[in-house]
Amino acid sequence: MRARISVPFEHCAGCSDFGFVMRDAVCIDSVATGLAYRTWHADWAHHVAVEAEFLSGCKPDLVLTDVAYLPLAGAAKADIPALSMCSLNWAGLFAHVFGHEPWAAAIHDDILAAYHSAKCFLRLTPAMPMPELPDARPVGPVTVRGRDSRRELQERLGCASGERVVLIAFGGFDKDVNAALWPTMPGVRWLVPEGWGLRRDDMTALESLRMDFTRLLCSVDAVLTKPGYGTFTEAACNGTPVLYVLRRDDWPEQDCLVDWLKGNARCQEVDAPALMRGDLMPALEKLWAQTPPPLPRPDGVAEAARLIASYLP
C-alpha cells in the first residue's frame, strides 16, 4: 500500500468482503463461494450493525469502497455519506454466477440495496455494463504512468543485445502455468514470481529486482497476464504490450476490458493449451509486430478526485 499511496494513512487490518473464493488467479470455486455467501448473508443484519458501529467509531467524513458493499450498508445505517468506485460490482458478478439459484434472489437484493445506498458509483473506464446501478457516474481510466528504466533493467539482468524481457503478473494471485517445463525461447528473458521457486538462466524472480511494479511494467517488452483492470490499464497507459490468457466464461468484466485494450494497446491473446506448453513465441511475435497506438490518458484520476472531493464537507 505504501508503494501506491504517497499520503499518510492508517491501515486497519480486516476484511469487508470476500468477493469470490478462488482456486487460483482465474478459477472460481463456485461451490465454496455459494456456501460463503449463504453463510454470510444468513446473519447480514448483524454484520451491517457491527460495520456501522466500527465506522461510527472512526468518525469519517466519507466512506469510499472498491468495491466492498458491506461498508456501504454500514455507512448508510450510521448516516455517513459513502461512494463506491470500480470497473465491476459484486451485485452484477453475483447475479452472473448465481442468478439461476433459488436461494440467490434475497442475497442479491441485500447486495444491490447496499450499492444503492451510496451517493453514487464511480464507474471506471473500462468497466462492465452496470444497468443495475442507474446512478453510476463514468470516469476515465484510473491508473498511473511510470518511469521507463529499460536500460537499467537490462543491465541488471545481464541481457544480451536484442534480448527481450517479459514480465509475468497475474494481478497478485498465483497461477500455475507450468513454467518450469517451458522450452527455452531464444532472445526472451522472463520475470517470474519468486514463489514459483524457478532456477533457470532465462527466468529471474521479479521481487529480487526491488523495483516497484509500475516502473517494472514500463521497462519490459511485454507483460503476460490475465484480463484485469489494473494491469490492463497500467500497461496501456504506459505503452507496454500485453499478452493475455485464459478468457473466462464466468467473469463478465473481461469482455469490456479486452475490447478496450484492443483499441488502446498492442495486445494478443494466447489460449490455455499454448500457455501450458510454453508455446508463446508465435503470439509474442504477433504482439511485437503490431503498430503502437496513441497512449490513452489516465484522465479518470483527476475526474474521480474531483467527484470524491465534491462529497466532502
What value does the mean pLDDT take over residues 131-137? 93
What value does the mean pLDDT take over residues 9-15? 90
Q: Same structural domain for residues 252 and 126?
A: no
For the chain, the domain total comes to 2
As a whole number of angstroms, the distance between CA 249 and CA 310 comes to 38
166 in a domain, yes or no?
yes
Q: Same structural domain for residues 164 and 201?
A: yes
76 in a domain, yes or no?
yes
Q: What percent of the chain has pLDDT over 70?
A: 96
Q: Same structural domain for residues 84 and 196?
A: no
Q: Same structural domain for residues 162 and 244?
A: yes
As a whole number of angstroms, the distance between CA 191 and CA 168 comes to 6
Q: Same structural domain for residues 132 and 176?
A: no
295 in a domain, yes or no?
no
Of 54-58, 95-99, 175-179, 204-208, the one with minimum mean pLDDT is 175-179
Give the per-residue pLDDT at 247: 60
**Domain encompassing residue 178:** 150-289
Give the per-residue pLDDT at 246: 65
Q: What percent of the chain has pLDDT over 90?
A: 84
Residue with cell 460495520: 51
Residue 249 has pLDDT above 70, yes or no: no
As a whole number of angstroms, the distance between CA 162 and CA 190 comes to 14
166 bridge partner residues: 190, 222
Q: Could you read off the pLDDT of 172-195 as tens digits, one per residue?
A: 556 678 899 999 999 999 999 998
pLDDT, greater one: 16 or 61? 61
What value does the mean pLDDT take over residues 264-289? 96
CATH number of the domain where residue 155 is located: 3.40.50.2000
Q: Same structural domain for residues 121 and 191?
A: no
Q: Same structural domain for residues 234 and 212?
A: yes
Of 11-20, 55-64, 115-124, 135-144, the one with minimum mean pLDDT is 11-20
Q: Same structural domain for residues 196 and 224?
A: yes
Q: Same structural domain for residues 194 and 266?
A: yes
